[in-house]
Amino acid sequence: MTTERKKLVLIGNGMAGVGTVEQILKLGGAYDITVLGSEPHPNYNRIMLSYVLEGSKTIDDIILNDLDWYKDNGIELHTGTRAVRIDGEARQVVAENGQVFPYDKVIIATGSNSFILPIPGSDKEGVVGFRDIADCEQMLDAAKSYKQAAVIGGGLLGLEAAKGLVNLGMDVTVVHLMEDLMERQLDHTAATMLKAELERQGVKFAMGKQTAELTGDSRVSGLRFSDGTELEAQFVVMAVGIKPNVELAKNSGIDVNRGIVVNDYLATSLPDVYSVGECTEHRGVCYGLVAPLFEQGSVLAKHLSGVDTAPYEGSVVSTKLKISGVDVFSAGEFIDTAEHTVIAAKDDWKRTYKKILLKDGRIVGAVLFGDVTESANLQKLVKTGAEMTDELYSELMGTGCCGGGAKKTASVETMADEEIVCGCNGVTKKAIVDAIQDNGFTTVDEIKACTGATRSCGGCKPVVEQILQYVLGDGFQQSAKTGICGCTTLSRDEIVAEIKAKGLTTTKEVMNVLGWKQEEGCSKCRPAVNYYLGMIYPDTHQDEKESRFVNERMSANIQKDGTFTVVPRMYGGVTTPEDLKRIADVSIKYDVKVVKVTGGQRLDLIGVKKEDVPKVWEELDMPSGYAYAKSLRTVKTCVGSQFCRFGTQDSLGMGALLERKYERLDFPAKFKMAVNGCPRNCAESCTKDIGIVGNDGGWEIFIGGNGGIKPRIADSLCKVKTDEELVEICSAVMQYYRETGNYLERTSEWVERLGLEQIKSVILDQPEERRALAQRIDFALAQVKDPWKKMLNDDKTRTALFEHAEIR
């Protein structure tokens, strides 16, 4: 006789609710599960929206559970479906579209809404919150059309939104009522350091300002403050707080204060109805941070699965901020008073700050800025109210004589099994330990694939590594060696050495002979191995298009709507009227949505349909600008001595020469150059992979610059007197990077990894090796033809490229 499975309905498809369902599945809870989500997306990581804004991740990257996950686990998912009421008598959930869903148990996880200030103008076009993908998409769209933005609110969300908009090219001012940023998490010292660091990264601030009105007609045009001053802005993000989404609970007659009131087992006042997450109020507290929500979900999952569990008694909250190199952590109490004992250390040179607060000799709070490696340890100590000892003081403040490794292992050893290691995905220490012991895992990548730990922001990776070391003991160093991806333990250098030693010639051969765990590899290692083979065998390697990213196979950049951006080459940023007319004619004929002038001095044809891409290229009859490739993208130039009264060298001519010479050749990552005719730096050589600056005596060469997510000013490599010397040194640097760079490693990272002195010793101190490197790149260039031209002339190849499964 079989027992009918009970029906569980989850209202809300966010992190807290789905995290609870994940735990129920792991515990073997016998439910038929239905999930109702108001958004048109599967479950995604809301914490990572700031990374989408700053450009380091796409929306696809932050999906936690794709549609296949729901199907594989027998979960009935209804996206775009908003539940409006729970009928306790009929025991069914009623949706806005009229659908009804019978239940035995219900979990409410409706989250929270952005708090929009009730001021005149708050309903104007161009005013948004920052809570979901729709908000994020509005911000991305606004950055394309408007220059000035204001973010109201200097808390965690506001600062993440501001930095994301800055990275999108907007002029951003954070408007904050208080004099300190993140005043609910940081003391004055940490807040001041945070503000200074964000100002260095381009964020502006208007502190102590109260917004009284948003000005403009139908669209916002500015802010008017209570003191009468004004700020111009065509886009405004409200990030002044959140309010629990309790509308459904109210409609259902469930007890509500600020949030949905629950007991210590997360039960509401309506029988068999539970609540977790930001919509929930427990013992008078609503939590807006992710770790408490997973702690609630863990208790509820055990309760619903019939597993003994301690009740939920509240959480010690902590905050961790990480955007573009800014690391901040806060836990427990952070403002010192007369009753506190304060332990603090501030280093203005390293821009780090650490403060620990004690009450009656016990740790009750901590603040970290710049270096947050102790965050997990301090969070545990605050949570348990650990007593400060001389030994612990030495460990925390770095004054002891023992090595860091022993300290870190000890801190992991004392962590409770149910302590959350990965706050983004709610992964506990026990889940990681079990994954290691049950599956024989030895790497972080294996743990990530199994448990989800580190798959989001990566901030918990050091703790996961410590747990690996703790579980594996003496075998950790050897067995935990990390390869280029989870498919292999081999590093880049080991793979290259094996290819050369064994004469391996194809990606499949490499993976088979070298014992790949996944026979076909993955989207991370296939392009890398294909690049290594092409670099080693430039004359014989047959490029494997199926191992290329979709952009490279299409010779165009895919956009979020599925159309493509086509970018023709303009050598040194110079074009002709004939080429401009051809671009205009093609753009009109194929209904190109936007023609944009780029920072690389060329034109983007945005919105080309996939099926039109070959025809667009054919009718343009211009070389590809390789805007999609791991190759030379652009050589930016100023007008130089040909036209400028300050120019000392012909930057236009040199830029075009370099671009024509090095186009088409693959590199480990995208590669950008710039040539200035004088030191005024109009072409921004200081932020390019190779930057060249003309002077009265010749040229100065800079390497390793980056203007992207991790900005870096280029290092001066050398000065040369002749154009011939310049070209030879550029060739040698580029080939040395090709031969020693990790796949997807930009030169900014490569220079820091190898060290400038090492590069100088090879390029400058060994003229024979320099010439050999230059000869090798010339040989490689001689083998390369424009692959797009070849594809256009080969119908079979063209069809294969367009139909092959995509690598993103």
Binding site listing for siroheme: 682
Amino acid at 278: E
Counting Cα atoms < 13 Å in the Cβ hemisphere of 276 gives: 30
Residue with tokens 């609110």: 153
Q: Please give the Cα distance from 118 to 123 (Å, whole number).
A: 9
Q: Please give the Cα distance from 483 to 497 (Å, whole number).
A: 14
Task: Characterise 208 by phi-psi region: left (phi > 0), alpha (psi -120 to 50), beta (else).
Answer: left
Residue 28 buriedness (CB in 10 A; 0-12 / 13-18 / 19+)? exposed
Neighbour-count burial for 192-223, b at 16+ CB within 10 Å, e otherwise: bbbbebbeeebbebbeebebeebbbeeebbbb
Question: Any residues with CB less than 8 A from the CB of 161 and at least 6 apart, and which?
Answer: 50, 53, 130, 139, 151, 237, 239
Q: Which residues are annotated as a binding site?
A: 638, 644, 678, 682
Amino acid at 253: G
Q: Please give the Cα distance from 182 to 185 (Å, whole number).
A: 6
CA-nearest of 661, 618, 537 to 790 is 618
Amino acid at 566: V
Q: What is the largest CA-CA distance in the chain?
A: 93
Question: Which residue pairs, CB below 8 angstroms and at least 24 apart, start in 750-758?
Answer: 750/668, 750/704, 751/703, 751/704, 751/715, 752/704, 756/704, 756/715, 756/717
> Which pair of structure tokens corresponds to residue 17?
């609710």
- For residue 272, list its beta bridge partners: none
Amino acid at 433: V
CB atoms within 10 A of CB 438: 9
**In sequence order, which ranges of 698-808 are alpha helices (DSSP H)?**
723-740, 747-754, 756-763, 767-783, 787-792, 795-803
Whole-angstrom CA distances from 585 to 28, 149, 564, 597, 612 are 62, 35, 18, 17, 14
Question: What torsion, rounded to 10 degrees, do the Cα atoms 343, 347, 350, 355 define?
Answer: 20
CA-nearest of 555, 529, 533 to 542 is 533
